[in-house]
Homo-oligomer: A and B are copies of this chain.
Amino acid sequence: MSKPSWQEVAQRAQDHRDASIRRVEPHIPPVPDQLPLDRTEIPKYILTTEEVVITQLPAEELTASVAEGKYTSTAVVNAYLRRAGLAQALTNCITELLPEKAKARSEFLDQYYKEHGKPIGPLHGLPISVKEHIGMKDLGLNAGFISWWDKKGTDDAHVLKILWNAGCVFYARTTQPQTLMHLETSSNLYGATTNPFNCYLTSGGSSGGEGALIGMRGSCLGLGSDIGGSIRSPAANCGVYGLRPSSYRIPVEGWSATMAGQEQVVPVLGPLSTSLEGIKLFMKTVIAAKPWLDEPSLIPMPWRDQESYFPAIAGGKKLKVAVLWDDGIVRPHPPVVRALREIVDKLKAIEGAEIVDWEPYDHDEAWKIVSSLYFCDGAQEETDAIDASGEPWRPLSKFIIKENPSVKKLTVADVWHWTSRREAYRSEYAKKWNATATRTSNTGIPEGKVDVILCPVGPGAAPPLDCARYWGYTSQWNILDYPALVFPVTKVDPAVDKIDQSYRPRNEKDEYNHQLWQSGPEKYTGAPVSLQLVGRRYEDEKVVEALEYIQGKIGLPFAKFV
């Protein structure tokens, strides 16, 4: 029996996916032939009213509704299965649906609820979608490579076990790019995942299946991973919330990726959700299970929301927000600057916040470090995994590996060199942050420092396919290991977001990004514009609390998303 061609493997992958979608009941009708740019409205005309209502509830309301018996778990998961199937037809975001597993699980949960009169756990009946490379027992684990198509999960990933014990239902697995190292989502297994709000743009990546699915409301809570922006880019592009937690808080055991054993830039798992509460629910539930007892790389740190960080205005304790308008390397497109401006104007008008500017500290050095540490083996593992099947290199795989001058086969001494530079850079950044203090406590500790940095998630809204070539606005926080929370703000409006004819780009990267916009703002019509709130290392709780405060005060987002 000869080895199948890569095209044959891709066909199998797609057949497997399509068959799984066909098994959803009630059957999912086809979508219209003629589709608008923005696909987010389509499911509303196809699904039942109850299905639409259910799938547009945020996670916290959905769990509350199931807990009080308003909906059964079965009704909920069926609605999500059907909307996920439509999301696949509209954005190509699914690797497989799991209708049988989801049915068995939701029936079990409904039975439990009937018998005990209460939910089994805080996530009782909540459907959760999962990026494909986060392993599920006996299911595929391809991580975007044709040659890995036959790999199977030997067990459910640690984080999935915790979510399961809390009562959730797994029903959908989502797409990722070749190598997992794109800020978009295209592979030779499934092709490209597109943006729900504008089909000519990317959903972002590498958790772009999650981004598109959640943007389509085919999921209200999903699990992605991030080593350079892979949770945040799709969250931003698709108008949903996404958190890159600090390292070693959320379990990673049981995922599949290249570079296992690499610890210089720690990859993390984290949530994407239609609501900030969904993000928090995920973090609290996973951390409450004390995952460090089973996965010793994790820090035994509870979710610390007992103390309130701010604002206690009477005591002079405001929320101090520093705004990074531009990283000094690639200037963000006009809609991103507008989103920053709109938020800053509103924050300036409230009493509990204080706004200062954040001067970027040598973000160029940060990119040198992080890009040198990504593929320390000269990308040997990625190259082997691609070449093993003869599949073509996707343009963005070429970009980040073959056309990236930082990718070299490093020696151990080289790795130590870059690691020391990373530590030096982290120290300098900490000093800069400390220097924002305005007073000293009586124990000598500086106070009145910046609480969070507000900044772009990328140099623009979602770009067209194959154009996401600037990682700096997200990878910056990976190399510093700062928690970073993405939230939707507004949408691109070419009538407002104009071309700036006078701007002279600073460098090649800036020129590339500038041209993306100059060549036609109308290409971006309707694309979500999101921003990022960044905290110091391990201040995940503070970042979430800060966004809760901001949202409560100024009302976000400023545009309607679904």
Query: Contacts A293-B434, A296-B427, A296-B537 given: A259-B416 contact, CB under 8 Å?
Result: yes
Which residues does chain B contribute within 8 Å of A32, judged by CB atoms?
Answer: none
Give chain B nearest CB distance to A327 CB in angstroms.
19
What B residues does A26 contact at CB under 8 A?
Answer: none
* Contact (Cβ within 8 A) A427 B260: no
Which stretch in A45-53, A85-93, A145-153, A406-414 binds the other chain?
A: A406-414
A261 touches B294 (CB 8 A): no
User: Residues 418-453 of chain A: 1 if any B CB is under 8 Å from the residue's CB, otherwise 0?
Assistant: 111001001101110010000000011110000000
A253 close to chain B: CB less than 8 A? yes
CA distance A300 to B539 in the complex (A): 9
Which chain B residues lie closer than 8 Å to A434 at the CB level? 293-294
A542→B423 CA distance, assembly (Å): 30
Cα distance A539–B300 in the bound complex, in angstroms: 9
| Closest CB in chain B relative to A410 CB, distance in Å | 6
Chain copies in the assembled complex: 2
Residue ID in chain B nearest A413 by CB atoms = B377
**Cβ B290 vs Cβ A431 within 8 A:** no
A98 at the interface (CB under 8 A from B): no
Query: Do A537 and B300 have beta carbons less than 8 Å apart?
Result: yes
Q: Is A263 an interface residue (CB 8 A)?
A: yes
CB of A350, distance to nearest CB on chain B (Å): 28
Q: In the complex, what's the smallest C-beta–C-beta distance from A285 to chain B, in angstroms?
A: 11
Does A303 make an interface contact (CB < 8 A)?
no
A431 proximity list for chain B (CB < 8 A): 294
Task: Determine the chain B residues whose CB is within 8 A of the CB of A420 once the complex forms.
Answer: 260-261
Q: CA of A339 to CA of B332 in the docked complex: distance in angstroms?
A: 68
Could you tell me if B261 and A416 are in contact, using CB atoms closer than 8 angstroms?
A: yes
Which of B165, B261, B419 lies in contact with A419, CB distance below 8 A? B261
Q: CB distance A299 to B299 under 8 Å?
A: yes
Q: A537: shortest Cβ distance to chain B, in Å?
A: 6
B294, A430: Cβ atoms closer than 8 Å: yes
In the assembled complex, A57 has its CB within 8 A of some CB on chain B: no
Q: How far is the CB of A242 from chain B (nearest CB, A)?
A: 23
Once the chains bind, are A412 and B377 in contact (CB under 8 Å)?
yes
Which residues of chain B have C-beta atoms less than 8 A from A481's C-beta? 296
Q: Within 8 Å CB of A445, what residues of B?
A: 289-290, 293
The residue in chain B whose Cβ has the minimal distance to the Cβ of A437 is B293
For A298, the closest partner residue in chain B by CB is: B537
> Do A293 and B430 touch across chains, with their CB atoms under 8 A apart?
yes
How long is the Cα–Cα vector from A409 to B294 in the complex, in angstroms?
A: 32
* Chain B minimum-CB-distance residue to A409: B412
Nearest chain B CB to A411's CB is how many angstroms away?
7
Give chain B nearest CB distance to A376 CB in angstroms: 4
Residue A200 lies at the interface, judged by CB distance under 8 Å to chain B: no
Interface residues of A in 533-560 (CB under 8 A from B): 536-539
Tell me if A509 is interfacial: C-beta within 8 Å of chain B.
no
A109 CB to closest chain B CB (Å) equals 16
CB distance from A88 to the nearest CB of B (A): 35
Contact of A429 among B296, B418, B446, B537 (CB under 8 A): B296
Q: Which residue of B lies closest to A431 (CB)?
A: B294
Assess whether A281 is interfacial by the CB under 8 Å rule: no
The CA of A10 and the CA of B474, in the complex, are separated in Å by 52
A430 to B290, CA, bound (A): 13
Check A562 for interface membership: any CB of B closer than 8 A. Answer: no
* Structural contact, B261 and A417, CB atoms closer than 8 A: yes
Q: Are B377 and A262 in contact (CB under 8 A)?
A: no
CB distance from A235 to the nearest CB of B (A): 25
A295 within 8 A of B: yes
> Does A324 have its Cβ within 8 Å of any Cβ on chain B?
no
Q: A325 at the A/B interface (Cβ < 8 Å)?
A: no
B412 in contact with A443 (CB, 8 Å): no
| B-side contacts of A288, CB under 8 Å | 443
**Is A380's beta carbon under 8 Å from chain B?**
yes
CA distance in complex: A418, B311 (Å): 47
Contact of A415 among B293, B300, B412, B446 (CB under 8 A): B412
Q: Which residue of B lies closest to A482 (CB)?
A: B296
| Contact among B262, B295, B301, B536 with A416 in the assembled complex (CB-CB below 8 Å) | B262
CB of A419 within 8 A of CB of B263, answer yes
B380 lies within 8 A of A416 (CB)? no
Is the C-beta of A297 less than 8 angstroms from some C-beta in chain B?
A: yes
Question: How far does the alpha carbon of A551 sit from the alpha carbon of B156 in the complex, in Å?
Answer: 45
Asked whether A294 and B427 contact (CB < 8 A) given A412-B412, A413-B377, the answer is: yes
Question: Would you list the 9 A-B pairs with minimal beta carbon distance, nearest first?
Answer: A261-B416, A261-B419, A261-B420, A296-B426, A376-B412, A377-B412, A296-B430, A300-B538, A260-B420
Between-chain CB contacts (< 8 Å), 11 pairs = A261-B415, A261-B419, A263-B263, A288-B443, A293-B430, A293-B445, A294-B431, A296-B481, A299-B299, A300-B539, A377-B412
Chain A residues in the interface with B (C-beta under 8 A): 165, 253, 259-264, 288-290, 292-297, 299-301, 376-377, 380-381, 409-413, 415-420, 423, 426-427, 429-431, 434, 443-446, 480-481, 536-539
Q: A292-B537, A295-B427, A377-B411 are in contact. List 20 more A-B contacts (CB 8 A).
A: A165-B444, A253-B427, A260-B420, A261-B415, A261-B416, A261-B417, A261-B418, A262-B419, A263-B419, A289-B444, A293-B445, A296-B423, A296-B429, A296-B480, A296-B537, A299-B538, A300-B539, A377-B413, A381-B413, A410-B412
